[in-house]
Structure 1
Amino acid sequence: MTLYVYVDNSNLWIEGRRVSAVRKGMAANAVEAMNRKITDGSWSYDFGKLYEAICPDTAMIGRSALFGSRPPANDSIWELAREEGFEVAVYDRNAANKEKQVDTAISTMMLEDSYEHMKEGDRVVLVSGDRDYLPVIESLRRREIPTTVVFWEHATGRELKQEPVDYIALDSLFDHLTMNRHPAGDQ
């Protein structure tokens, strides 16, 4: 089996910050955090640990790609992703500072890969909970290419948690994924 892995970094990071806010008591639950736009601005995740969690050592990797908005110059996640062998696709935000093109770019790459590279027994791993991916997942299913969706419980569309999609909630991996940051001078 060969895995084809596609990660929506912006959504993963934003929703992880909501989970962290709830865990720190900044919001009573994820719904309140979403409605009140509460996030833990100090939270970040360890890309290498995410990769380990979603890509077992025994799996062959056909492609792994990380998508997101153009990060600040000091954001190291993109370099870490490259070191793990991920292709990186970065898009500029629009004039209203909204992310554009990411979901479409992921969907396009998934379909292109399915026709150009995937074969029977291969599997797609999608790290996003957006229902916009349902048409692509359905297209893959009709061609017998299974999809595993990996994302935060509160931010994953109900349809992405049901057959024929295999769903893995990231919530139980929160502590494992959280980037350990050391205060200045504390090594």
Structure 2
Amino acid sequence: MANETPETCMFFVDDSNIWVEAQKFAASGNSRMPKLEDGDQDPRLRINIGKLVDVLRKSRNQGESFLYGSRPPPNDGVWDAFKGFNFKTKIYDRAHCGKEKEVDNSMATDLSQKATELSIRAEYEPSFQRQKASTTFIAITGDRDMLPPIQRVLEYKIPVELWAWESGISTEYLRQSHRNSLLSVHFLNTIFDKISFTKFTSTHKGKSKRVDPAQTVVLCQFVNPDWGNLESFVAEELVEECRLFYTSWSETGEEIFVEFPRVKNIGVMVNKLQRRFEGVSTVVSWPEYANRFNKHSPAVVKTSNKYALLMDDDGEYPTTRGTAKGGHQPVEPNTDLRSVVKPQGANKGSETVEEKPNDNDGFETVFRRNALQEKR
């Protein structure tokens, strides 16, 4: 019908709610990653903003949308990414005590104000009556402080879809949803695989620091350094150690530095990785690497990401693993690198590894060694 108004949704997003609880969920163990043993948050977790919006929006049009955040951390890249998806960003500096009251107040004000504006205009204009009837508010927050403004929206008979991480939601929302059919509660946990990925490499392009020798293990002298899946394979193996780590290529591109920022005894990790990568590469501590290769000071590599961005560096749909050097692809199912690496001195053209095309809408399909099912 010509006068039919399309379904529309308006977004109200509390960035810190996505940020903190997403990292906690990632560290607790999930379909892609085992539980971290050395921390309750995984700063390598990323949220693909475009996919988040698409999954929640469904087939509806996106109306006015707002993101609320605070500094620190300095997530300007995240704010810019949300702007790219037609969000108005409202960013505030934290108080000295770390509170985010301006963020809460701003989000509460917008929820109430937008609902009031839409309802008042609907009383006098037929077009706004249709607009109100076809509009849903999507609120991403679990903060109980948002309950009063959300109740105000419901009083105006505007449906609200509330999304939050199960670990970070006030139970009062669940009680309210049982009392009022206009409020529906959804858990971001259920769409985790669709909207998130883990990036093991550093993220701040153009900013460098020296690796911390006391926390670094060096993988060098790879049996087959030209094998295309090398970096993905290394990351998949390291994941099994259940420790927070970051990988970086050396300036020469011949070694991979693995930093374990939370490990207290790096010697233990050296021994474990020597067994894990036996037949694939030489694994040494930083002092041994420095002595063997005459490295008098740590090589410069990209910095580990202390304040991880919840997005891909380039604003594109990212991969479930850190972007591999030179476009490396994920390890194939039932393929063990040890079974395809060539002995030193062998003809480089003697081995062929078949790679499965990446047809996952921008997400790499990741396989664990000898796994029977795909891991996303």
Q: How does 1:107-118 map to 2 (within 5 A)?
A: 107-117=108-118
Native 8 Å contact 1:4 1:62 kept in 2:
yes
| CA-CA distance at 1:61 after TM superposition | 2.3
- Write the distance in 1 (CA, Å) between the matches of 2:93 and 2:49: 21
Native 8 Å contact 2:111 2:150 kept in 1:
no
Q: Does 1:125 align with 2:135?
A: no
Q: How does 1:30-179 map to 2 (within 5 A)?
A: 38-56=40-58, 58-70=59-71, 72-73=73-74, 75-117=76-118, 119-161=132-174, 162-163=177-178, 164=180, 165-179=183-197
- Write the distance in 1 (CA, Å) between the matches of 2:56 and 2:138: 8
The more displaced of 117-126 and 170-179 is 117-126
Ranges of 4+ aligned residues in structure 1 off by more than 4 Å: 71-75
| CA-CA distance at 1:94 after TM superposition | 1.0
The more displaced of 15-24 and 137-146 is 137-146
Identity of aligned residues (%): 29
Structure index of larger Rg: 2
1:40-76 CA deviation, whole Å, 9 max, x = no partner?
11112111111111112x3122211111113555652
Q: Unaligned 5+ residue runs, structure 2? A: 1-6, 120-131, 198-318, 328-376
Aligned twin of 1:4: 10
Q: Unaligned 5+ residue runs, structure 1? A: 28-36
The more displaced of 43-52 and 94-103 is 94-103
Q: How high is the TM-score relative to the length of structure 1?
A: 0.85
| CA-CA distance at 1:152 after TM superposition | 0.9
Native 8 Å contact 2:150 2:160 kept in 1:
yes
Aligned residues: 178
Instruction: Give the RMSD, CA atoms, in angstroms.
Output: 2.2
1:100-140 CA deviation, whole Å, 9 max, x = no partner?
31111111011111122362332111001111111112212
Aligned twin of 2:338: none
Normalized per residue, the structure richer in helix is 1
Q: Summarize the Cα distance change of 1:74–1:2 in structure 2 as closer, same or farther, 3 Å threshold.
A: closer
1:25 is paired with a residue whose SS is coil
